Amino acid sequence: MERECGEDFPKFLGALLKYLSWHNRGRYQYIIENCYISVENAIKFFDQDTTILIFLGYSELTAEEAFQNYRKNEKQTDWTREYSDENMLNHAREWVEKSKVFKRDCEKFGVRYVDVSWDREKVLKKLIDELVEKLKD
C-alpha cells in the first residue's frame, strides 16, 4: 500500500522550487505536502533561508486511535475508503511510527514539528494563521 520514494524525488522537488522561487521573484508561496521525504533530506535539499520547513505528524496517537480518526473523518471520495480496515490499521501503525521518527529528527536537526494528534483542525488553523503573519513580513 505504501509508496517508496528514492533520493531523486526530493532532489527534483528542491530544484523545481528553487527555480520557481527565482523565476517568480518571491511573488508566490508554495506549500508542498509530502510524507515521503525524511527530515535529513529536507534540510539537505531545501534552502532554509527561503523555505519554511514544517513536519506534521501524530506521534501521540496509538495506531488504533489513528485508524479510528481515518474512518471517522473520511469523506466519500477519500482514498482511505478503497482499503480494508486491516490495511488501514497497518497504515496507521506505520505512520504513527514515522511520525515519531519525524518528531525525533526534527528535534535533532532543529526543524519545526507540529503534532496534530489532538484537535487537528484547531492546530492546523493556528499554524496557517502563524504562517500568514510570517509571510506578511
The tens place of each residue's pLDDT in the chain, 137 residues long, gives 444 555 676 667 667 766 666 555 555 455 666 677 888 888 887 777 777 889 999 999 999 999 999 999 889 999 999 999 999 999 999 999 999 999 999 999 999 999 999 988 899 999 999 988 887 76
Q: Which residues contact 107 (CB under 8 A, 6 or more apart)?
A: 113
* In the block, residue with C-alpha cell 528514492: 6
* In the block, residue with C-alpha cell 527561503: 50
Helix H or strand E segment including 106: helix 85-109
Question: What pLDDT sits at residue 131?
Answer: 87
The three grid cell numbers given for residue 55, joined into one nine-digit string? 513536519
From residue 68, how far is each of 61, 109, 123 by CA, in Å? 10, 31, 19
How far apart CA 71 and CA 8 sit, in angstroms, is 33
Burial class (CB in 10 A: 0-12, 13-18, 19+), 37: buried
